[in-house]
């Protein structure tokens, strides 16, 4: 069954023009590709291994009970927020999704160097998140600075879509939140339209995170530092289920 699921993921990804080659099929794997199934295999999962964990993240991966909170970061980048979150919320599990091998390994390595035991990461396409988790398997979700796909003809590739929000809503438990950040005003406006017609309740919105009430306690990500230096405000939303 996992092979069939992986085939479905591969087919759907290709149709979305976001082809995701299987790790094992890369002809000349570099050190980061090898590390995924080597030194970091206990904490990092390739596409095929991750599919076996649907419904088992609490019990099998984290070795915890049914009430253990498991959060998700969609697109970890180089992992600064991921490592920070693992440290400040050490009583919660955190799963990251990342496609690129180098930032994936950087993310899990950074978390482990910080002493985290609650960190796991999977190489997978974020749009197919429902292949990795069962309904009600996730708690809080973080989506920070996804690709804005600025050109209008590319908007169909944006992660925030009505159907995607519906997926996330089903995967989350009640009384949990979805946090979203972007420096793109156009993408933020696009997303807010979809937030409003989703099943989520909007808890807060701001077009300038660092000058808002939500700025206190905010962890400044690597991308945020770049945008701040360029004079771009960060747009922020928090949604509740």
Residue with tokens 């190489």: 123
Q: Name the CA dihedral angle for 228, 207, 160, 132, rounded to a multiple of 10 degrees.
A: 60
Give the side-chain half-sphere CA count within 13 A for 54.
Answer: 18
The active-site residue out of 37, 39, 130, 147 is 147
The CA–CA distances, whole Å, from 13 to 3, 24, 161 equal 15, 17, 15
Give the side-chain half-sphere CA count within 13 A for 1.
Answer: 6
Give the side-chain half-sphere CA count within 13 A for 18.
Answer: 19
Distance from C-alpha of 220 to C-alpha of 123, rounded to nearest angstrom = 24
For the question of residue 147 being annotated catalytic, the response is: yes
Helices (H) and strands (E) counted in the chain, each on its own, are 8, 8
Q: How far apart are the first and last CA of the chain?
A: 31
Distance from C-alpha of 104 to C-alpha of 122, rounded to nearest angstrom = 8
Element spanning 73, H or E: strand 70-74
- Looking at the DSSP assignment, which residues form a beta bridge with residue 74? 97, 143
DSSP-based three-state secondary structure for 44: strand
Give the side-chain half-sphere CA count within 13 A for 224.
Answer: 17
Catalytic residues: 147
């Amino acid at each position: 069954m996992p092979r069939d699921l992986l085939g479905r993921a591969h087919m759907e990804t290709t149709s979305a023009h976001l082809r995701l080659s299987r790790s094992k099929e890369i002809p000349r794997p570099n050190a980061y590709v090898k590390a995924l199934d080597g030194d970091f295999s206990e904490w990092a999962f390739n596409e095929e291994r991750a599919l076996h964990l649907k419904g088992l993240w609490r019990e099998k991966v984290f070795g915890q009970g049914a009430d253990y909170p498991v959060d998700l970061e969609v697109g970890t980048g180089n992992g600064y927020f991921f490592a920070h979150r693992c440290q400040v919320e050490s009583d919660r599990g955190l799963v990251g999704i990342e496609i690129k091998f180098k930032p994936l390994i950087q993310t899990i390595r950074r978390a482990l160097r910080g002493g985290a035991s609650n960190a796991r990461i999977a190489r997978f396409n974020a749009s197919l998140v429902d292949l990795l988790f069962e309904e009600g398997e996730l708690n809080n979700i973080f989506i920070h600075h996804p690709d804005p796909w600025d050109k209008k003809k590319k908007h169909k590739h944006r992660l925030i879509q009505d159907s995607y929000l519906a997926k996330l809503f089903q995967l989350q438990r009640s009384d949990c939140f979805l946090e979203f950040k972007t420096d793109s005003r156009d993408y933020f406006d696009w997303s807010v339209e979809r937030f409003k017609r989703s099943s989520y309740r909007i808890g807060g919105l701001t077009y300038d995170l660092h000058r808002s009430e939500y700025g206190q306690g905010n962890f400044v990500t690597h991308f945020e530092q770049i945008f701040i230096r360029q004079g771009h405000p960060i747009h922020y939303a928090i949604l509740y289920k």
